[in-house]
Chain A
């Protein structure tokens, strides 16, 4: 996954880095009158990785599905590059944001066809050579050529996760949403997937919002940290927001934080 291997064309980003790529404003949601999200707002710039952290039931997964309008939130708005995301057409939304679910259904379909699905928002009637080429470019970039024609139900968890990520990337999104991308992976694949995501975000100006359970992984690969507590934003910001107090408030565990090579490491007591 070397950078110079990248098939993704770097379109130089001339837009002012100060303007946010995505702006989430006052998202609230409830299931059967039980509030799950309460006035969640945050902004992120192009190329940033945002870790969404919190306890089970804090509303992390609900938040990213609401941001993507997979669920329609009770209230709130999302703007991408200043455009109202919720007012876009379905295909326009799918060309703006892509999403990788926590667990994926592996059906009898080849890796290639599964990735090709990411071109769906662009397909009018038939596929264009461009669609095929974009899929192949991502397949090559992610080193998936060898099982291009294997069925995805024969893949390991790590391979399947890569295929889903590839599918989300051929959507050419501005914002990539990941719901616990590492939950079913072994240590090696956790780092492989996240460093790949990190690389894509940095070099192709995609904003990544990812739900993570592992604070260590979050601190290593993400720039911003959104801490959710019972559906509300506890804090949002860079590494400095991760404090011993915050960890105690969010997870209810005592810890101390040490710095190793300029990187924060959380040690649970």
Chain B
């Protein structure tokens, strides 16, 4: 049994001949197999071009987003306590410009931007996949308590296992992580513990999507309390470092940390893209996905684990930055719908854009003071979260 092809092709070529006869050009004989074959090809080509046009819009979105990201990077690099013009930024980037610009750019701005991009990409991709596999538009690392779990884990590593030290008690900003791998491992353990509870509730107990978010509230309250308790027993120096870290700070990660976040991102991205059709199928419902040959259980399990891992790694180095994973995929769904072939890369870029915009805002709103970036993303994300709850409530009633 083969669908498609010949009959339609015959019909179409017949129609075409008719229309060309109408214009008095054609000498085709519909039964001439050679000509029929030619038509066959043109026809398929038409359909394919049609499809290319359809898919072209999505590629365009991806391209526009890349350009937006580049612009955001330039703006972010030029804005700060010592302003550098965008032209100077470009010059300094390619080794020209003034010595001082180069120093600021390469030692301060670029690491911070790179961190922002890495973290934004990680959180947005994780949110995008979690929303898909949990069949829940409200899911993200921060709304499910995974971010708080990861923070708790990282705090344990910093306080009890000396994974982090503060360089000079007076400067609260320069907190360095001495053992990144230990912090990552603990953050991941904290995050994955939360994920395990969420998955058990969702898959075994069959908790509804909205209740799952309530479970997230309970879990994040528990981990936030845990982090507070650790602070209570920690010495002054470490309290300062944890408190600062709970606000989120892109300026903390060094090149090593940035490289680690990027490495995890690349692996996760390849895995997610490889499974893009599985996510598209899951979007049609789990039964339908199974009937399309998707191993739903493993896709959900591995998808959640990978999402937890990349969020935990990002959170371990920059602290809690909420709602990126919620905002970015939802903005992109407006433009390209639920096609994960494009939603995954577009969300990733959008996550980077949002975090850089928030970072610029945090450095300019109350200049010269720098506001905590986590607070800003929460201000942006919380209203969207409420909007989504209202929207979901309307759909279920």
Contact = CB atoms under 8 A, between A and B. Distances in A.
Contact of B54 (A5, A7, A112, A118): A112
A225 to B, nearest CB: 24
Interface residues of A, number: 59
Contact of A117 (B45, B51, B280): B280
B277 interface: yes
Contacts of A172: 1-3
Given A7-B8, A129-B44, A151-B337, A104 B288 contact: yes
Given A7-B3, A172-B1, A105 B285 contact: yes
A200 to B, nearest CB: 10
A98 interface: yes
By size class, the interface of chain B is 35 or more
B47 A136 contact: yes
B293 A9 contact: no
Interface in A191-239: 204-206
Interface string B268-285: 000000000100110111
Contacts of B54: 110, 112, 149
B1 A206 contact: yes
A118 B281 CA distance: 9
A90 B294 CA distance: 7
B48 interface: yes
Main secondary structure of the interface of B (DSSP, over half): helix
Contact of B295 (A6, A90, A104, A132): A90
B293 A133 contact: no
B293 A94 contact: yes
A101 B337 contact: no
- Of listed A123, A132, A171, residue having the most chain B CB within 10 A: A132
Contacts of A129: 44-45, 47-48
Contacts of B4: 7-9, 130, 133-134, 136-138
B11 interface: yes
Interface in A88-103: 89-91, 93-95, 97-101
A65 interface: yes
A174 interface: yes
Interface of B: 1-8, 11, 44-45, 47-48, 50-51, 54, 135, 277, 280-281, 283-285, 287-288, 290-295, 333, 337-339
Given A7-B3, A70-B290, 13 more contacts: A8-B2, A89-B293, A90-B295, A94-B293, A95-B293, A101-B288, A105-B135, A117-B277, A133-B47, A164-B288, A169-B3, A172-B3, A174-B1
Interface of A: 5-9, 11, 65, 68-70, 89-91, 93-95, 97-101, 104-105, 107-110, 112-114, 117-118, 120-121, 123, 129-130, 132-134, 136-138, 140-141, 149, 151, 164, 167, 169-174, 177, 204-206
